Amino acid sequence: MIKPNKKQSTTDCSRRNFMLKSSLFMGSGAILLSSLKQQVIAAPKILEVPIWSKSIGNPVLHHSYGLPSNFEHQVIRRKSNPDDAPVEYVPSLDQASRSFTPLADLRGVITPNGLFFERYHGGYPNIDPQKHKLIIHGLVKRNLEITVERLKRYPSINKIYFLECSGNSYSNWGENEGSSVQGIHGLVSCAQWTGVPLSLLFREAGIDLDKAKYVIAEGADAPSMARSIAITRALDDVFVAYAQNGEALRAEQGYPLRLIVPGCEGSINIKWLRRLEVTDTPLFSRNETSKYTDLLGNDMARNASLIMEAKSVIIAPSGGQILPEKGFYEIRGFAWSGRGSITAVDVSTDGGKNWQRANISSDIFPKAITEFTFPWQFTGEKAILISRAIDETGYVQPYTQQLLKSRGHNYGYHNNSMQAWEIETNGRVQNVII
Amino acid sequence: MIKPNKKQSTTDCSRRNFMLKSSLFMGSGAILLSSLKQQVIAAPKILEVPIWSKSIGNPVLHHSYGLPSNFEHQVIRRKSNPDDAPVEYVPSLDQASRSFTPLADLRGVITPNGLFFERYHGGYPNIDPQKHKLIIHGLVKRNLEITVERLKRYPSINKIYFLECSGNSYSNWGENEGSSVQGIHGLVSCAQWTGVPLSLLFREAGIDLDKAKYVIAEGADAPSMARSIAITRALDDVFVAYAQNGEALRAEQGYPLRLIVPGCEGSINIKWLRRLEVTDTPLFSRNETSKYTDLLGNDMARNASLIMEAKSVIIAPSGGQILPEKGFYEIRGFAWSGRGSITAVDVSTDGGKNWQRANISSDIFPKAITEFTFPWQFTGEKAILISRAIDETGYVQPYTQQLLKSRGHNYGYHNNSMQAWEIETNGRVQNVII
């Protein structure tokens, strides 16, 4: 029941500014919020008092390290499978595996550490930081053995960067239809990393700049995961990280030390970093030749395709969800680019016929996840929602067909093509390959 | 043993740029990193292989919601006491209590959710979001009852803001000498908050701008914590948050909904938000009169002193720590201001005789924690380290004596005075009041 109040005059400047500000905030289009069908109630004489307001709650330090509310128990990492069901892990299989970030449940730039995606080739070790060392050797004047404690004393930097597995969205070439945005695209996360630049560490070691061409980074995991990095890239913005989102790295993300190679595929961001060898030749390790190399259609391979190109995905509405009713929905999504900042995101609600510029709803950091939003009315008619990212180089996120045409059908990694979600008349949201 | 390499030529441009870049990176002064006394070793013929590199590690989804490494078990929230010892909570006392963030162990802008400080007056409730409602009523056209699910459908914003209890650093007036930076200053944290602006919600409700002067915000905790907010502030940048650092609010921080009043003292950022009443008069609630009002020396009180003024604190070296040796240390700290951005931080290493500009080592966001660093050599001589923050208004963080002089000695809240740490010749770090 609407309770009428005195009619608002429109001559007051502050009031006009307020109204203006609200409509500007609404972004493109004039979507009436009343279409959200708010529950309008009578003036409450006595507000209902729930049970939790009538009793003393939990004390401080109920958890000395806090945990999510038990009501958020569905917001977890998962394995990817079409039914999107949590799978009991099979030890012999799951150390060479991956778990996916629940993108649809996240907001903004930061992925909380407990939901950061996992990817291992031999499981993750539980390293004692007091026994771990970082060795720097090779084409240097001084071979160094650096303890974790001492590494943390070096001048450090804080940077917000995404990490994405080069195999992210692998299932979306059309062969395996994943169902949820978590299941298809969940091998991407974003955090604030703290660490020491390689340029500083190599200055300490006295790098031989006449000869140095590559750095071999090796991890302390069972497979001794190793990758080569060109020395120019290494000296530019690569650093040894020891913290994520303000606290120590998680064991799953490389505790106590990992490499961060901004904008480049996940596997080169070596976890459990134990060794940096300065060399004059790349390593041609297994994990940059037989794996993580892109096969083209013509018996050729595109190797060292390191950079994760501009990409976006709508996280809501997304696969597996059901829109409860017609009305207003704020389409939301994430965009990122390994080449720098996202400059724009376009959204189509009709399968790509028409495109409109979305709103950027978070801070924009180069090589970090950026959130976008777009106001939309679900009218009960079928719709296909797509987003496309544009980065600072002018690069535009491509259609799947465009990628397949230019790279051939054996191509597997670096699937940064657009994601389309089909909304059926009953509100069900499904993955469609376009 | 140093392994000599061919002498580096200095004529190469890229090499010169590299050297230049490193010295620029070093900031003020020319601190030799060799003073870090790195362990220089012979070229490793065979690197020692630790036990964790020889066996398969943990599988994916060992934790579907990840947790810190067990080696980080000391990085937790604590109660404040001079010995800084973890205290077993006493249920009857600890619901009206606080727990402190381990600032010395953090880096950068983001406080991870599990370490966010706690402050309750009646414990924290465990609210079922499907049963929780936000009521908007009072001087509005339409009284609204909004479910959590529906609130989350509204256009939302993401903002990085600090929260600080107005009683933070209370122990540092000189009466109770806390020991660690956690114990003294740990009632401050910073996160990315996601939520819906009040300006939008009040537009939905149809606020009566002729009459509306205040908003009463009330929580669903046992004490029904309530505060008043001026309507101009409410319509400016106040919002109803449902996420912190990308995931749902933690129960300790107000799950499922809380108010964020940027830059203003913690208690006004009402947790477990259940009601917003638009009124023409403030509430004069207990928690803005008998509590959270600053007593001055002259039988007067300074009420509604909402804004947390510019403040900084060195987190390392900090109280309770012992520097292990002479040599290079990067002094690190946090600065923040409720009035906007931190524009500069100065550091003194001689008790305030001389000051130098520190390096800002994180992104700068208005009303968020900003990290600063300063290169320093511990020579074995006594030193007193102090930092002072300067914000965009030109305000400079004051000495304790300045605050006491202007506000009197009954003053308790809003202690934003400078923090001094004394380094003894044996490396021990102690709190000193200056």
Residue A73, helix vs strand vs coil:
coil
* Residue in this structure with the two tokens 């060109």, named with its chain if needed: A230
| Pairwise CA distance, residues B217 & B201, whole Å | 13
Tokens of B80: 């404040």
Q: Do B245 and A248 touch (CB under 8 A)?
A: no
Nearest to A246 among B43, B98, B111 (CB): B111
Nearest to B60 among A61, A98, A221 (CB): A98
Residue from B23, B64, B242, B250 to probe the interface with A (highest A Cβ count within 10 Å): B64
Shortest distance between the Cα of B53 and any Cα of chain A, in A, equals: 4
- Please provide the distance, in angstroms rounded to a whole number, between the alpha carbons at the two ends of chain B: 47
pLDDT class for A300, splitting at 50, 70, 90?
A: confident
* C-alpha gyration radius of chain B: 25
pLDDT digits 0-9 by tens, B5-22? 333 333 333 433 333 333
pTM assigned to the model: 0.89
Mean pLDDT of chain A: 86
Q: Do A56 and B160 touch (CB under 8 A)?
A: no
Q: Which residues does chain A have within 8 Å of residue B108's beta carbon, measured at their own beta carbons?
A: 158, 192, 194, 243, 245-246
Q: Do A6 and B275 touch (CB under 8 A)?
A: no
Strand partners, B81: none
Nearest to A91 among B27, B59, B67 (CB): B59
Q: Do A78 and B61 touch (CB under 8 A)?
A: yes
Q: What percent of chain A has pLDDT over 70?
A: 83
pLDDT class for B405, splitting at 50, 70, 90?
A: confident
pLDDT digits 0-9 by tens, A359-402? 999 999 999 999 999 999 999 999 999 999 999 999 999 999 89
Q: Shortest CA distance to A335 belongs to which of A309, A306, A317, A305?
A: A309
**CA closest to A4 among chain B residues:** B141
Q: Which residues does chain A have within 8 Å of residue B97's beta carbon, measured at their own beta carbons?
A: 59-60
CB burial of A391-427 (b: ≥16 within 10 Å; e: otherwise) equals beeebebbbbeebbeebbeebebbbbbbbbbbbeeee
Instruction: Annotate A272-317 with DSSP letters as a single string.
Output: SEEEEEEESS----GGGTTSS-EE-TTS-EE----B---EEEEEES
pLDDT digits 0-9 by tens, A46-56? 678 889 999 99
| Cis amide linkage into residue A256, ω under 30° from 0 | yes
Residue A196, helix vs strand vs coil:
strand
**CA closest to A96 among chain B residues:** B59
Angle at A94 between CA A91 and CA A99, to 5 degrees: 140
Q: Shortest CA distance to A366 belongs to which of A392, A334, A389?
A: A392
What domains, with CATH codes, occur in chain B?
Answer: 76-302 (3.90.420.10), 311-432 (2.60.40.650)
Q: Is the pLDDT of residue B369 over 50?
A: yes
Q: Using an 8 Å Cβ cutoff, are B371 and B107 in contact?
A: yes
| Pairwise CA distance, residues B345 & A28, whole Å | 40
**CA closest to A377 among chain B residues:** B153
Nearest to A69 among B14, B39, B250 (CB): B250
pLDDT digits 0-9 by tens, A399-425? 998 988 888 777 778 899 999 999 999
Shortest distance between the Cα of A361 and any Cα of chain B, in A, equals: 6
pLDDT class for A328, splitting at 50, 70, 90?
A: very high
Give the pLDDT confidence score for residue A186 in this predicted structure: 95
Q: Which residues does chain A have within 8 Å of residue B12's beta carbon, measured at their own beta carbons?
A: 209
Q: Do A50 and B131 touch (CB under 8 A)?
A: yes
Cα B46 to the center of its chain, rounded Å: 45
CA–CA distance from A417 to each of A350, A385, A387 (Å)?
Answer: 17, 14, 10
Q: Which residues does chain B have within 8 Å of residue A75's beta carbon, measured at their own beta carbons?
A: 65, 247-248
Shortest distance between the Cα of B425 and any Cα of chain A, in A, equals: 20
Neighbour count for residue B113 (Cβ, 10 Å): 28
Nearest to A248 among B72, B109, B160 (CB): B72
**CA closest to A222 among chain B residues:** B53
Give the pLDDT confidence score for residue A290 in this predicted structure: 73
Q: Which residues does chain B have within 8 Å of residue A67's beta carbon, measured at their own beta carbons?
A: 65, 114, 250
Give the pLDDT confidence score for residue B43 in this predicted structure: 59
pLDDT class for B250, splitting at 50, 70, 90?
A: very high
Q: Shortest CA distance to B3 belongs to which of A139, A37, A8?
A: A139
Q: Using an 8 Å Cβ cutoff, are B208 and B183 in contact?
A: no
Q: Do B38 and A97 touch (CB under 8 A)?
A: no
| Pairwise CA distance, residues B314 & B317, whole Å | 7
Tokens of A118: 């996992």
Q: Shortest CA distance to A217 belongs to which of A241, A193, A194?
A: A241
Residue B274, helix vs strand vs coil:
strand
Nearest to B8 among A9, A194, A210 (CB): A210
Q: Which residues does chain A have within 8 Å of residue B9's beta carbon, measured at their own beta carbons?
A: 210
Q: Using an 8 Å Cβ cutoff, are A314 and A333 in contact?
A: yes
Shortest distance between the Cα of A122 and any Cα of chain B, in A, equals: 5
| Pairwise CA distance, residues B175 & B184, whole Å | 12
Q: Using an 8 Å Cβ cutoff, are B402 and B384 in contact?
A: no
Q: Which residues does chain A have within 8 Å of residue B109's beta carbon, measured at their own beta carbons?
A: 158, 192, 246
Question: How many Cα neighbours within 13 Å face the side chain of B281?
Answer: 3
Give the pLDDT confidence score for residue B82 in this predicted structure: 40
Give the pLDDT confidence score for residue A294 in this predicted structure: 73
Tokens of A148: 């974790």
The answer to which of A31-35, B56-60, B314-318 has the lowest mean pLDDT is A31-35
Q: Which residues does chain A have within 8 Å of residue B60's beta carbon, measured at their own beta carbons?
A: 77, 79, 89, 94-95, 97-99, 118-120
The whole-number average pLDDT for the span A214-229 is: 94
Shortest distance between the Cα of A340 and any Cα of chain B, in A, equals: 16
Tokens of A40: 């309008």
Q: Using an 8 Å Cβ cutoff, are A135 and A224 in contact?
A: no
Nearest to A26 among B61, B150, B155 (CB): B155
pLDDT class for B142, splitting at 50, 70, 90?
A: very high
Tokens of A218: 């090796």
Shortest distance between the Cα of B152 and any Cα of chain A, in A, equals: 9
Nearest to B68 among A26, A57, A65 (CB): A65
Residue from A64, A239, A370 to probe the interface with B (highest B Cβ count within 10 Å): A64
The whole-number average pLDDT for the span A223-252 is: 96
Work out the angle between the directed axes of helices A13-25 and B198-205 (0-180°, nearest 10): 110
Q: Shortest CA distance to B193 belongs to which of B148, B154, B146, B242?
A: B242
Which of residues A14 and B195 earns the better pLDDT score? B195
